[in-house]
Structure 1
Amino acid sequence: MIINFLNSYIINLAIIVATIFGLYFSSLKHYLTNDEVEVEFIEPSAKLKISFSTEIILGLFIGLMCFFISMNRIPVDNMRSVDVRYLPVYFSVYYGSPMTGIVTALTLIGTKSIEYYFFEALPSEIINNVAITIAILIISILIDKKQMKPKKAILTCLIYTIIIRFFLATLVLFKDLNLELMIHFCLHSLVFSSLFLITGWLLNNAIIISERIHVYRTSSVFDSLTGAYNKESFYFFLDIAYNQAIHENKAFSLALIDFDNFKEINDTYGHLVGDKVLSEVASSFQSCSKKFSSLQFFRIGGDELAIIWKQEEIPSNYFKIINTKLKKLEIEKDFDNDLLSLSIGLVHLSPQQKSEKTINVKQIFRLADEALYEAKKAGKNQVIEKNITI
């Protein structure tokens, strides 16, 4: 009996945890892909916005898993075994969305109704299936709207669920209610509660760890002010572009970008405005960069930016678009947008077959830096281009 109990308990726990992990990380992957937030920080425990079709698909999957969970009940005594099929309904709302929870609940009700139809279940079974599933769904949606913290949310749902189950059990078994049934209900609730709480604890801690890892990753890869890749990432991606050029015969280009009047901006308007200028200009680059999937944008110093293109030709209108955007930026009420000008050193690197490949990454950076210096020396607010074979 104990072995059967442990086997069923662990199997149910594993199925529920795996199912909700699948929900959360599928939502996270979809969110990152569609919203392109690889350049942003994800706030811990933030609600992931996913498409309607994804909500439906995830809800159907979780609902089917609820049905399979109902086929693996947990034996506690000689009476009715514990059925924890309702737990994923709560988690599908809390870690997914109300729509995901609704689809999960409807799928569970539908699949169990089909089972009851073919196996001629008692009316109490049918009522219990619909009533408890809908009750947990409503409670979960209300908890979601109040944006409760994980611990408070799961305790709230658990308390209300036990109350509702006790009420339904009392209503159905009122005439036959005795001490043995009360003990059975208490054991039933204890097992149900323990599985609910352990599942919630495992999921919450695992997701918190995942989110912290993401924050650490983004803090080591991205610049916190602008959201652009940072200097360390720049050298990493420059190495990749260089190695692809050498080994895969792929051309790429490197642009080093410097503000012409950044010191004057800081001296005139203060460093807070200077930070806002950097952030707004970086946003302009990033919004423009979305049209060109082959480029990556970096902040490599105080007011120094960089772009790496993995293609043979630079879009000729790219920097023209940027200059137009800069003139339209709204920084401060009295801010002079004429101060927003950039000098750019740009090198185009083309691999040449049977060459000795004598140039290295440091030399490529130096050449782009020299082109930038020439742009500054020639009067600023311009692009100096160089073509190099490697």
Structure 2
Amino acid sequence: MVFNFFNAFIINLAIIVSVTLGLYFFSLKYSLKNKQLDDEFLLVSKHLEMSTVAKIFSGVFIGVMAFIISKNGIPVGDYRPVDVRYLPVYFSVYYGSPLIGLITTVTLTLFKCIDYLINQGTPTEFFHNIIITYFILGISILIYRKNLSPRKGTFLCLLLTLVVRATVLMIAFFPHIDFLFFYKMGINFSIFSALFLFTGWLIHRAISISEGIHVYRTSAVFDSLTGLYNKEYFYFFLDLAYNQAIREEKTFALAIIDVDDFKQINDTYGHLVGDKVLSEISTILKNNLKPESIMRNCRIGGDEFAVVFKHGEYDTDSFFQGVFEQLNELISESACQKKVTLSVGLVEFQPDSSQPSNQTVQDLFNLVDETLYEAKKSGKNQLIKKELPIHTLKK
């Protein structure tokens, strides 16, 4: 008997945790699809983006799993098994979205009604199935909207669920309420609460650990202010693009971007405004990346950015045309009355396999930096572009 209890407890726990974490990390992966970040660097966030179709399919799947949970209740002696089918409803909303929770609820209640029809369920079971499940959905959406912490959200949902379930049961069994009724209900609620709290804690710990790993990994990869790749990874991407271009005889390009008169912005409006300008410029660079892009945006200095255009299909002219067009729209005039402009040095390298290549990555960077200097010297607020075979660079 004890073995059956723990076996069912662990099975229910495993299903709920695996489904919730699967939903969370699937939505996380989906959210990264249209971002600049590479898939291997997880950006942890609570409310994530998914398409409507993906949410519907996720809700149906979770609803089916919740129904399976309902068919594998936790046995407690001769009493009614403890049914924790409602937990996936809450977690599908909290770590997914209200739409996922709604589809989960509809799927679960529909399957349970069919099950009751086949197995001649009582009116109380039908009523309990609809009222409690949709009540938990409503509470879950409220917690989601209020953006409560995992601990507060779990405790609030559990407390309200127990109150409503107790009320419904006492109304349904009013003529037969006695000490044994309260004893059975106490055991059922205790096991239900233990599984709910332990599941919530386990899921939160797993996501917190993922969050910590993300912070540890990204602190050495991304610039904290702009979210772009830092200088160390810029050289990594440049070296990778250069070596692949040499090996595969493909074109690649490098651009260095400098904010014109940035020191004047800092001196006049303060460093907070300067940071805001840099952050908004990084947003412009990100906005001009296509979902399938293999370009890399980097911050390589105080007010210097770089874009590595790896070999493939891209249009550097179109990219920077979009950057210049959006510049005036995103820079906040209330924060900085001065017009913000950029100078850009861009070089497209054309590998030539007829001669050995002996240049270094630093040589490539220096050449593009010289092109940027030309743009600054000849009036700023412009792009100067060159096309060169990389074997002509001197070591």
What residue in structure 1 maps to residue 317 of structure 2?
A: 316
Residues 254-309 of structure 1: per-residue CA shift (max 9 Å, x gap): 11222342233334444333333333333333333449934222110012211111
How far apart are residue 168 of structure 1 and its match? 2.6
Structure 1 residues 87, 251: CA separation in 2 closer, same or farther (over 3 Å shift)?
same
Partner Cα separation in structure 1 for residue 311 and residue 44 of structure 2: 37
Partner Cα separation in structure 2 for residue 78 and residue 305 of structure 1: 70
What residue in structure 2 maps to residue 265 of structure 1?
A: 265
Structure 1 residues 387, 63: CA separation in 2 closer, same or farther (over 3 Å shift)?
same
Please tell me whether the aligned partners of residues 374 and 384 of structure 1 are also in contact (alpha carbons under 8 angstroms).
Answer: no
Residues 218-268 of structure 1: per-residue CA shift (max 9 Å, x gap): 433222333322212211211221232133333211112223422333344
Greater Cα offset, 219-228 or 92-101: 219-228
What residue in structure 2 maps to residue 57 of structure 1?
A: 57
What residue in structure 1 maps to residue 162 of structure 2?
A: 162
Structure 1 residues 203, 279: CA separation in 2 closer, same or farther (over 3 Å shift)?
same
Partner Cα separation in structure 2 for residue 143 and residue 213 of structure 1: 27
Residues 319-356 of structure 1: per-residue CA shift (max 9 Å, x gap): 4454454466444577342x7341x3332222333542
How far apart are residue 212 of structure 1 and its match? 3.1
SS of aligned partner of 2:47: coil
How far apart are residue 52 of structure 1 and its match? 2.5
TM-score by length of 1: 0.88
Please tell me whether the aligned partners of residues 347 and 388 of structure 1 are also in contact (alpha carbons under 8 angstroms).
Answer: no
Partner Cα separation in structure 2 for residue 171 and residue 83 of structure 1: 19
Please tell me whether the aligned partners of residues 246 and 353 of structure 2 are also in contact (alpha carbons under 8 angstroms).
Answer: no
What residue in structure 2 maps to residue 274 of structure 1?
A: 274
What residue in structure 2 maps to residue 38 of structure 1?
A: 37
Mapping of 1:66-215 within 5 angstroms? 66-215=66-215
Structure 1 residues 105, 364: CA separation in 2 closer, same or farther (over 3 Å shift)?
same
- What is the aligned-residue RMSD (CA, Å)? 2.8
Partner Cα separation in structure 1 for residue 390 and residue 43 of structure 2: 44
Partner Cα separation in structure 1 for residue 363 and residue 260 of structure 2: 24
Please tell me whether the aligned partners of residues 46 and 95 of structure 2 are also in contact (alpha carbons under 8 angstroms).
Answer: no
Structure 1 residues 375, 384: CA separation in 2 closer, same or farther (over 3 Å shift)?
farther
Q: Which amino acid aligns with 1:123?
A: P
What residue in structure 1 maps to residue 389 of structure 2?
A: 388
Mapping of 1:237-386 within 5 angstroms? 237-290=237-290, 293-311=293-311, 314-326=315-327, 329-332=331-334, 335-337=337-339, 340-342=341-343, 344-353=344-353, 355-378=355-378, 380-382=380-382, 383-386=384-387
Q: Which amino acid aligns with 2:370?
A: E
Please tell me whether the aligned partners of residues 375 and 384 of structure 1 are also in contact (alpha carbons under 8 angstroms).
Answer: no
Please tell me whether the aligned partners of residues 341 and 381 of structure 1 are also in contact (alpha carbons under 8 angstroms).
Answer: yes
SS of aligned partner of 1:238: helix
Which consecutive unaligned segments of at least 5 residues does structure 1 have?
none
Please tell me whether the aligned partners of residues 269 and 336 of structure 2 are also in contact (alpha carbons under 8 angstroms).
Answer: no
Which consecutive unaligned segments of at least 5 residues does structure 2 have?
none
Structure 1 residues 179, 311: CA separation in 2 closer, same or farther (over 3 Å shift)?
same
Structure 1 residues 152, 270: CA separation in 2 closer, same or farther (over 3 Å shift)?
closer
Q: Which amino acid aligns with 2:345?
A: G
TM-score by length of 2: 0.87
Partner Cα separation in structure 1 for residue 245 and residue 270 of structure 2: 43
Residues 115-153 of structure 1: per-residue CA shift (max 9 Å, x gap): 122222222222222222122222222332333222122
SS of aligned partner of 1:235: helix
SS of aligned partner of 1:30: helix
What number of residue pairs does the alignment pair up? 386
SS of aligned partner of 1:120: coil
Partner Cα separation in structure 1 for residue 143 and residue 8 of structure 2: 29
Q: Which amino acid aligns with 1:385?
A: K
How far apart are residue 379 of structure 1 and its match? 5.3
Greater Cα offset, 181-190 or 322-331: 322-331
Please tell me whether the aligned partners of residues 5 and 76 of structure 1 are also in contact (alpha carbons under 8 angstroms).
Answer: yes
Q: Which amino acid aligns with 1:316?
A: D
Please tell me whether the aligned partners of residues 44 and 208 of structure 1 are also in contact (alpha carbons under 8 angstroms).
Answer: no
Partner Cα separation in structure 1 for residue 251 and residue 311 of structure 2: 6
Structure 1 residues 105, 369: CA separation in 2 closer, same or farther (over 3 Å shift)?
same
SS of aligned partner of 1:75: strand
Structure 1 residues 262, 19: CA separation in 2 closer, same or farther (over 3 Å shift)?
same
Partner Cα separation in structure 2 for residue 88 and residue 33 of structure 1: 26
Q: Which amino acid aligns with 1:279?
A: S
How far apart are residue 4 of structure 1 and its match? 0.7
How far apart are residue 43 of structure 1 and its match? 9.0
